[in-house]
Structure formats: structure tokens, C-alpha cells
Amino acid sequence: MPEARLSHTAALILQSIHAGQVYGFSVMEQTGLPSGTVYPAMRRLERDGLIASKWEAQAIADREQRPPRKYYRLTREGLAALESVLKRYPLIEKLIPTPAGEA
């Protein structure tokens, strides 16, 4: 996926996942974006190979008395796309900082 096609929303979501918000609701909390924006965007990012997902074990969700979470991570391509798009949207790193020691 060429960098020029990444929207500001997609950049926010990629940075949020990179910063450690690894399931949909936490991305929504971090970015302030509504579910109707976050989940379709995450499906597109996954379809385009920039993020990958994995459902947590049902036993973990049962123990915490909640539905299972789908956890996301950046792919190698997603990290490259994020690095590229941060050159276009440099304030995203200030809005959603990556924890110290991670780049």
C-alpha cells in the first residue's frame, strides 16, 4: 500500500497500535475516534497487510468476565508505512507517544 493512500485516521490507528494500544477499544480510547471509524479502518489495514490480529484465548476472557479481545500488531509492512507516514504527519507522534525504549 503506497504511503500516499494512508489517511490521517489510518496513521493514528497505526501509531496507537505501535504505542501499545493493541485491541480495538483501547485504540478508540487513545485516539478519540468512534467505533464506526476504528473497526472498518482496522479491517482495511489488516486486509492491506499493515496489521495482523489474533483472538485471545476464551479462558482469559472468561476469567476476566468479558468477551474475548482481538489483539492487533503492526506487520513489518505496517511499521514501514508508519515510519513513512509520520514524515507527513509528524504531530501524531506527539499526540500518541511511543513508550520509551521503543522506536
pLDDT in tens, the chain (103 residues): 444 578 999 999 999 999 999 999 999 999 999 999 999 999 999 999 999 999 999 999 999 999 999 999 999 999 999 999 999 888 999 999 887 655 5
Q: How far apart are CA 46 and CA 74, in angstroms?
A: 9
User: Measured between alpha carbons, how far is 24 from 29 in angstroms, rounded to an integer?
Assistant: 9
Report the alpha-carbon distance of residue 103 to residue 3 in Å, rounded: 19
Q: What pLDDT does residue 14 have? A: 96
Whether residue 45 contacts residue 15, with contact meaning beta carbons closer than 8 Å, is answered with: no
Query: Can you read off the three cell numbers belonging to residue 72?
Result: 492487533
Report the distance separating Cα 29 and Cα 88, nearest Å: 23
Contact 35, 24 (CB under 8 A): yes
